[in-house]
Amino acid sequence: MNYRLPAVPTVDQISAEARAKSFTTRSIKKDAKRQALALTASMIDLTTLEGDDTPGKVRALCQKAKQPLVSAPDLPTVAAVCVYPTLVPYAKEELEGTGINIAAVATAFPSGQSFFQDIRLEEVRETVAAGANEIDMVINRRAFLTGDYQTVYDEIVAVKEACGDAHLKVILETGELQTLDQVRKASQIGIDGGGDFIKTSTGKVKVNATMPVTLTMLEAIRDHYLKTGKKVGMKPAGGIRTAKQAWHYLVMVKETLGDEWLTPDLFRFGASSLLNDVLMQWVKLDDGRYQSADYFSID
pLDDT tens readout for residues 169-209? 999 999 999 999 999 999 999 999 999 999 999 999 999 99
pLDDT value for 294? 59
The Cα-based distances of 28 to 96, 166, 282 in angstroms read 36, 35, 14
Q: Given 64, 169, 185, 235, which residue is catalytic?
A: 235
> pLDDT (tens digit, 9 = 90+) per residue, 247-264?
999 999 999 999 999 999
| Residue 292 confidence (pLDDT) | 61
Residue-range domain boundaries for the chain: 18-286
Share of the chain above pLDDT 70, in %: 96
Residue 298 pLDDT > 60: no
**Residue-averaged pLDDT of the chain:** 95
Mean pLDDT to the nearest integer, 260-275: 96
Side-chain-side CA neighbours of residue 263 (13 Å): 8
Of the candidates 64, 199, 277, 299, the residue annotated as catalytic is 199
Q: What is the mean pLDDT of residues 93-104?
A: 98
Looking at the chain, the whole-number percentage of residues with pLDDT higher than 90 is 90
Residue 199 designated active-site: yes
Q: In terms of pTM, does the model score above 0.85?
A: yes
- Is residue 120's pLDDT more than 90? yes
Which pLDDT does position 240 carry in this prediction?
97
Catalytic residue among 136, 154, 196, 299: 136
- pLDDT of 293 > 70? The answer is no
3-state SS class at 17: helix
Strand order in the sheet with 269-271: 233-235, 197-199, 167-171, 134-138, 101-106, 80-83, 44-47, 269-271
Predicted pLDDT at 70? 83
Helix, strand, coil tally for the chain in percent (to 5) = 50, 10, 35
Nearest Cα neighbor of 270 from 128, 119, 108, 101 is: 101
Ramachandran region of residue 9, left (φ > 0), alpha (ψ -120 to 50) or beta?
beta
Query: In terms of residues, how long is the chain?
Result: 299
Architecture of domain 18-286: Alpha-Beta Barrel (3.20)
Per-residue pLDDT of 212-244, as tens digits, reads 999 999 999 999 999 999 999 999 999 999 999
SS (H, E, C) 107-176: CCCCCCCCCHHHHHHHHHHHHHHHCCCEEEEECCHHHHHCCCHHHHHHHHHHHHHHHCCCEEEEECCHHH
Is 185 catalytic? The answer is no
> Is 118 considered catalytic here?
no
